[in-house]
Structure 1
Amino acid sequence: MTMTASSLVELRALRVAFDGVEVLHGIDLEVDRGESVGLVGESGCGKSVTWLAALGLLPDKASVTGSVRLEGRELAGAPRQTLETVRGKRIAMIFQDPSSSLNPVLRIGRQIAEALGAHRGLSGAAARAEALRLMDMVGIPDPRRRFDQYAHEFSGGQCQRLMIAMALAGEPDLLIADEPTTALDATIQAQILDLLARLKDETGMGLVFISHDLGAVSQVCERVCVMYAGRIVEQGTVEQLFSAPRHPYTRGLFDAIPRLDGPRERLIPIPGTVPDPREPLQGCSFAPRCTRATSYCRSNMPRLLLQDDGRGLACAHPVEPAQKGSTRAAILEDTMQ
């Protein structure tokens, strides 16, 4: 993809290494204004590291190279003062464990008010009024009474809503949601997903949704990037990937989804695990786990190439397009509509 006038954030050749061990191998990704993009893959594939690196939130031992542009403004290697004007105000991030992000000894209202003061310069009665508005916006019942409560007095789902309220305090152009529903039960998860989708539509902000839950991604995203071992191996619209996944890894993720209708069937797991980055492979990183791999795959690393249908694909032997309804992907797509 090329940078367009509507592009908000552009990552180019983004690489990350820890103590000389490369874990991210040249990520190219764009997010347009108002667009919702999903990042999916197993744990350890580099989904969270990509955006932590983009925002300069990795520890000092991490080596980050490449380009990160916000509306053409380079952020990679920018001084801390520059990044602090972006974090929270232009790009906000929420994490999967709100209990570790909320201060247990400060009242919730004060924490939201601090975010409003840092990003919008509000204080006193103005900050309190805006904090109450944000709490109401994210669905916290009786916000005036709960304004002075502590984090432990809220449920897990309510804490995640509070984290979303704090992220919205800076009126960001892009919200990065890093597995925000992982620790929640199915009912609360659905509520949080509906909330994110509604807020995106109401505010016009872009959304990056990081998850290993394909069903959740299908509810809130328009485009999906599948990551494996620090690389994007397939990307396209939700409709493209859910109706006809082409990369063997993407197909494997869908095949491992249990069916909720029809006869019970044994799941088709992906054998093995994500490779250790300390032991880099010469060829395709997925080759040791792939049933379609050949000697060519084991000696050549495929590049992400644009396909005739507009998707990006990095595979020498992709899965042939299947008829709609013949895969678990299509079954899941139908259940989410």
Structure 2
Amino acid sequence: MNPHLVELRELKVAFDGVPVLHGIDLTVGHGEALGLVGESGCGKSVTWLAALGLLPGKASVSGSVRIEGRELCGGPRQILEGVRGGRIAMIFQDPSSSLNPVLRIGRQITEALALHRGLHGQAAKAEALRLMDMVGIPDARRRFDLYSHEFSGGQCQRLMIAMALAGEPDLLIADEPTTALDATIQAQILDLLIQLRAETDMATVFISHDLGAVSQVCERVCVMYAGRIVEQGSIGQLFAEPRHPYTRGLFDAIPRIDGPRNRLIPIPGTVPNPKKLPSGCAFSPRCAHAEDACSWQRPELETLEDGRRLACFSPVAIARAAAVRQKILEDV
């Protein structure tokens, strides 16, 4: 068996000639839960839309996308159509924009079952009801013939998950699936994703800007900034000692409800325009630890002694700064 379910190598995307992804390298293992975090516009969603061939015609995509060693990027459309839904499924943050408002929910799920598993009639209906029960839709049999507007936002997201599961995918990409939901429903959806992964051994990519949610669902995390991965490691590594200044900035901006009430530390500056990226490290204009080389040379993503990957010229300074900050917080 191939050690990786999905491999992205040097994946690049440009819109109307403007690069927005600059060579993404990442892997997803069989049954693994991978988190992809970063500010809005950093390229998280574009990465997987490009991998599945779902970007508009003005997008230019290059690089390699492989599922168990089989190349998808640049291949025949029939190959991608066989992968979407059947091998890799994707759910989005706003289910109301994905569900068809003029078709009954039962029909939408059974259409997915017919397409990916060849089920029709009573067999398809029975399986659709089973999926609705699995994702926690109460009284599924009665609600099978309702429309999407007759369900709450959280239930619509559960229905989207049911439709994604209809093809029995090896990988589920959850693109900020809890953003539009209140805190209680968010927790329920996260618990559902964890439960489904445990029951089906399905790999998961969880795209989010919510580090707390990522810590609950994922085992490994990739941090993205301006179309590049800047840090990658296990949940334990990144949450115990984030090494990249951007990763540290994301953690500093999280409000705390336990312990002393400290002022939040925002990341200074703004995300750069893709048309006017700095010649060196894209984060250097906002970085308190920037060195001379950062302004003209871009750091490569390198593997450190602890196994994590980091694209930064001053990881030692960052680690020291983190240790000093932790001591200050402990002394407060």
1:87-126 residue CA offsets vs partner (Å, 9 max, x unmatched): 0000000000000000001100000000000100101000
Please name the residue that 1:320 is paired with.
319
Residue from 16, 19, 43 that aligns with 2:16: 19
Residue 327 of structure 1: how far off its partner (Å): 8.5
Kindly provide the CA deviation profile for residues 281-337 of structure 1, in whole angstroms up to 9, marking residues without a partner as x: 21000001101112210111000000000000000012116459939999xxxxxxx
Give the match's secondary structure for 2:138.
coil
1:208 pairs with one of 201, 205, 224: 205
Which structure 1 residue ranges, 5 or more long, are not aligned?
Answer: 331-337
**Normalised TM-score (structure 1):** 0.94
Paired with 1:324 and 1:177, the residues of 2 have a C-alpha distance of: 36
Question: Shift of residue 204 of structure 1?
Answer: 0.7
| Contact kept in structure 1, 2:2 and 2:69, CA below 8 Å | no
Q: Distance in 2 between matches of 1:298 and 1:124?
A: 63
Change (3 A) 1:21 1:185: same
**Corresponding residue to 2:285 among 273, 283, 288:** 288
Counterparts of 1:92-241 in structure 2, within 5 Å, are 92-241=89-238
CA contact (8 A) 1:254 1:329 kept: no
CA deviations over 1:240-270 (Å, ceiling 9, x no partner): 0000000000000000011112232210000
Q: TM-score w.r.t. structure 2 length? A: 0.96
The amino acid across from 2:326 in the alignment is S
5+ long unaligned stretches in structure 2 = none
Whether contact under 8 Å (2:291, 2:313) holds in the other structure is no
Q: Does the Cα contact within 8 Å between 1:244 and 1:324 map onto a contact in 2?
A: no
Mapped to 2, the partners of 1:234 and 1:220 lie a distance apart of: 18
Q: CA RMSD in A?
A: 1.7
1:335 is matched with which residue? Answer: none
Flag the 1:117–1:325 CA change in 2: closer, same or farther, 3 A: farther
Q: Could you tell me whether the CA contact under 8 Å between 1:55 and 1:87 is conserved in 2?
A: yes
Identity %: 76
Alignment length (residue pairs): 327
Q: Secondary structure at the match of 1:210?
A: strand
> For residues 268-307 of structure 1, what are the structure 2 equivalents within 5 Å?
268-307=265-304
Q: CA deviation at 1:271?
A: 1.1
> 1:85 aligns to what SS in structure 2?
helix
CA contact (8 A) 2:32 2:203 kept: yes
Alignment partners' CA distance in 1, 2:300 and 2:37: 19
Aligned partners of 2:43 and 2:226 also within 8 Å: yes
Task: Write out per-residue CA displacement over residues 28-72 of structure 1, whole angstroms, 9 at most, x where no aligned residue.
Answer: 000000000000000010000000000000011100000000111
